[in-house]
Amino acid sequence: MTAICQIRQHLFGELDLMVRTTAALIEKIEDKDWHYQPQSAMRTLLEVVNHLVQIPTVDLAIIQEQDEISIRKLEKELFTDNATELLNLLHFGADRLKSYMAALTVEDFVHKTGKPFYSQEGIAYSKWLIEILTHLSHHRSQLFEYLKELHYNVNMFDLY
């Protein structure tokens, strides 16, 4: 196995960690708290969770150069208030993303680019995968903080 393939596998391991820990946090949420909103200018808990679980699916669509209208439509179609559907979407999207990235040759993974609708430049797929992990981590942390504010029993071990 080449070094690039090993790095890609490590990144997939991080994606698996993000999915597992995010799912565990979501499973803690009680129905009464879905509409919690720390401040008026912030998302509700339901909106944060929807955005978070959509990241693998939506970012893959962006990588595949879907236009902004298609992306916004996809986000609306995927939005749900059903916890089981949220978890299924997270797992399904992560599996599709991994399959897509795993199918790329090493050369394509490192050098081929996808151009998002919001950028003038293409982004290498390897960098995309890192950005997706960063995006997931950011919003998983946001979810964690919402749960802390709601006095859920969560601590740093829920993130590993």
Q: What is the DSSP string of 93-148?
A: HHHHHHHHHHHS-HHHHHH-EE--TT-SS-EEHHHHHHHHHHHHHHHHHHHHHHHH
Share of the chain above pLDDT 70, in %: 99
Question: At 114, which helix (H) or strand (E)?
Answer: strand 113-114
What is the pTM for the complete model shown?
0.93
Nearest to 158 by CA among 21, 13, 16: 21
For the chain, residues with pLDDT lower than 50 are none
Tell the burial category of 125 from Cβ atoms under 10 Å away from its Cβ (0-12, 13-18, 19+). buried
Q: The tokens of 2 are what?
A: 């080449």
Q: The tokens of 16 are what?
A: 């698996």
What 3-state class would DSSP assign to 123?
strand
Structure confidence at residue 1 (pLDDT):
66
Cβ-Cβ contacts under 8 Å for 12 (sequence gap 6 or more): 98, 101, 102
Structure confidence at residue 159 (pLDDT):
87
Structure confidence at residue 126 (pLDDT):
96
